[in-house]
Structure 1
């Protein structure tokens, strides 16, 4: 045995991280002592220092049980009123909030009061286990879902409260509490199980010795299966070879009255043989009434609860499709129900079971016989085809007869039959097999009555005419059958294509979505075509409330809010049609990835009926690409935030690096001028004093510009770069920058080329203006006196650019990649000379924060430097809306 298999077996014996352990006390019937044994085990745990609470324990007035319960700490029950009756239920929230390690929960199969969070008590237990709390619980064998039909056959009583078998199978420990039937009956007569009046009725109706023996055997079988699993696990933990997997069980069902019974039988067979199993329904396009669809949906939901896989296939041949699917899944056992053979099935090769036995070579075929029940009373609307289809068959026969009578003088008698065959084919294509066969029979009679001698009589004189009529009837039936089958297959293909189209259409729309808003918009656009349901997408609003991102409106009653919260917190569907808060009007489906839910999809039928199983599966399939798109949008947002944070940190570092140089230079100049004026005073000639004061003023203006820039930089905040974007004309930015630098640019020949019809920019205007000022000041500093300086602006489909060119010394091509380094200090770099600007590193940070870039090239006439600022162009706003849009 591989070491990994042994390790998996050892790990399987450990409790899952953060999950509690379940111990089940199983009995064959009430009164065998399950609750008493559970309380005794609880006292043992209490003496060992385990913190425990009795969540709910039913003593049924038994003195010994009540004495044991009184010695344990108990959680008070919740009281509620339903239809004038006071009900008591377990306080789930109180137990979850208590500092407890073990909870006692009696009667696992109990149904909670209407309005409770969960419909069943076993769901409360699952939530306790998920919270890391151990649970002791009790259950009788007749409450296991897969045994429901067997218990009804044994006792004649239909048990309404059931528990999925996987609850017991996943228990960490199962303890069988057994009591011989004679002793249990004696306890009943002594009133130790029920009060005397109820005991006598129970003995007569349920607690007969025969019934108790049968239930006792079922309980022992269930315990034996659990023991077999534990034994198998123990061998694998020892590193010895476990029994090989013996294939798979495939059960094929239709929407008949035996569907649920067949599912329960399949679950028990799979459990006893230790086989995984699948429930398969082959949709051959045959029309179904509403009752059949509901039975099929109920059987599929039951299979999901019992741990089976639900598969829906579409094909024309049911038997061949089942065999092919069983072989693809490496199944060795195929289970079906016994068909009710009708005459047309016998004529066409027998029922489903007969065809499987004939064609399924190498597969074990099990057939479950149907129960002997009275035939259902035929009701209007239960037929596979409506009255309109049969009326169409009659009308088509009449029209074919009239047309055949009209052409009988032109066409030979054998050719007239083609007119009736065309009518049969038309009815089969437009309806189904039943009306087509009716049309074939009517056409047979009309052909005989009108055209076979003697005319206007059903008698036949010539023997060859009998053979002609028989061949006509056979061809009509076969033609109708084939046409109806092709129509069913076409309908099935159309439904499959519709589902595939839904997935492809949604995936295509989501592929083009780059952020969460776009993903939500694409989903809303896709689901807007679903006219039979209402859809909405919710998200948390930061205060544990709900924010409706699209769809609705949603009236958040207490039940709706509780269902939505539970679905979000437990990553499972809740609401209408589920076992969790089914009184909700919405079905809530969390859109989840590995690290938790990203949104909550709400669906409500406009017809106020639960969603069909097919629609639920389609929504589950669509939820996967939608969740992945939301995850991708979140990842893109996080990456953009990280990039923005990196640009911010780079800008801050460059800012701090420049402070020591760019602030000190003007301050040193100003201090030197002031010290000279103070020391020499009137001894300095008037002209010299004037130059010193003008120099001090110029340095003060430079310092003022730099301090203004520092004030703008304080808007960066502490977390990420905050851009106060607005719609700005490029010409306004250029005009403002030139106005602030008029004194600096005065000695130069400045050429401005900025078209007035450039697109608007959605930017933080102060930052881009400061970046342009830095580039202009840098160009002016290195330009010769009376040199030329050019400022141009332009745009293409994606970007708008500002270009500043000078006639300075220029930057060698080998050094152009370094000038954006905050530590670059070459003499000809942007920090060479007097270097009073923030530098190109800061400019790059300002432009990069907007998603733009900076390039360096040669300047005017191949001399100097040309620095260009490129900014992305967003979609232009509608006229008159620029002042309404603002983005942080």
Structure 2
């Protein structure tokens, strides 16, 4: 049996018309003869949405009891038994009442799809799991009901139901979204124009990414390699040279001109791992491209143009930015170069060749550092200078040999010198051998002329072969040295990465690893003082620098204090003290320095985030407090004011019974208000760490009755099983009474009338445990931690009142007395709160 198809109507905010659009589609399908039923649709009292239901068949909902309240949920068993072609399931992110087969509605939808039933559903962008924190940051409202992104991405169709913020606000003002009494608050909070604009942009961007995924799957399935310019993507090729920053900024400007274009930087590394790219420059360019809003990528390939174009076509790039060639005109005669080759083979991809300062350099002749050690080069020159005359003498004394034999001996000498001393001694040997062969072994002897053409040709072939062999041997030695150096660098950088990942402070771990690797006394990362004068003596001026990080015994105070200094950027410099380092180690040092700058930035961001967390938490608490206080304090206050105002009124003649009832209402409201204020004050003292606690030996047999008396008539129904010989506990009597009153009051609220809570106590392991057992509906284990959050109520399933401080305050007070409060499941259903306090040893008979 094939699976059903899921179609989701996605909106930026409530009220944009997702349910209406879903019902409209259902009516169209029903008119075409499709078997369509409504599994669950929430109209929220909106008359236009209700009218769109029309004569569509509704599957009866399932009625459930939870914590004394009645709820209706989608009856998935009835839908499976009915087996329609299409079913409408509104509010995909909804959390089901505990006791349903699945915890979330999207899990119900998965079950319907597996049964082969097509599903139409709705979802707001704020309910996507990946955007949960972003939406909370924008709106200040946490979203506890979320749907995994993968569930939505697997949908066959996601249709955006879009509406401008102004239009949505007008719809709300006309009463088409919320009831009139809620409109003003909604427009001034969640439905502000800025919030709606940001949510709309999130929805558009997320949907655009999903469309990109669908396009990529289609192109892959149909083996389409040509570029489709559905969206601008600018790829910039980095060689690891100094021109990279120029190319990146140029590519960023190109991307900016194309609205919402993607910027991607790519570096092509060779298969053998031997590259001329500077790792420090690549690291800095990676930081730059990320700061410009782009992404960095690295691919491997021997043929750079092919690898570059394969990557560009793989990401469906529309534009490619390359640097102008740094090669001279002579080199371009033998090879067209990366830029020309890429342009010729780019097809529909636009190629930009950007000039830079490196491209303006004309003929440059550079002699690279020899791949061999100095001692070997000296040995090669000695072998060449001594060996050529000696070989000539031996061949002259050895009798008449054929010219071919003489040439082979001289060629062997060239190879030997190349193996010992490299290319330049070997070239000297080749030219010297050419001269000696001509003078001593090619007729006419002892003359610089050559009589026969064949001898001239043989001599020229010898010279060409000798030079080729010299260059080949030297290149092999150079490659071997590069491979060994690359391997050493890779091992060093891998060790650095490991130490950084394992360390709690990546910057310190990185600097310490550098100090150990090169045997240094200290490694210091200096940062320039912003207002310091940029004078020639700045390198020697300690006042122009501050120590950002340092390891070792003698930190440097300025770049001039160290043996080696490596500038990272305009403000950062890494200074090494201990001994000078070889020039060959400079590449690794620059890579260390670039990573140190990244680690410093990450540490500072971590500190900023840590500093922002308390502020964000305080803001969240303040918002929650205002939301709670605005209702829960205002209600008893309004009741008390109404009662007192009625009593003072002279327009009505109140009977004695009415007066007593009004006084009782005022007394009850003021008492409730008093308890709320006390709880709020205690919670604020707990969070500020200034709550006074006076610990002493307290007997539970004394405190428990006091707490039950505080609860009034309901407290007398609680059953007690407290041993008479139970040890006393170390606690503050007043605080312990408050804890018990809050926890037992909570248990009474959710226990059925015929099964009141039970309190049992026991002692073991130096602790006294008091269990408050209720037999209500209980709480899912996944939500146990949430019941202890301040201003948090499981209001989705209950009719609880209050600011949600009871259990949060109870746990805080218990922990202030060195105890603990934790939930457990009650066997047979319900919730047990376990209050643990230290036992106090006493003399017992």
Q: TM exceeds 0.5? A: no
TM normalised by structure 1 equals: 0.32
TM normalised by structure 2 equals: 0.33
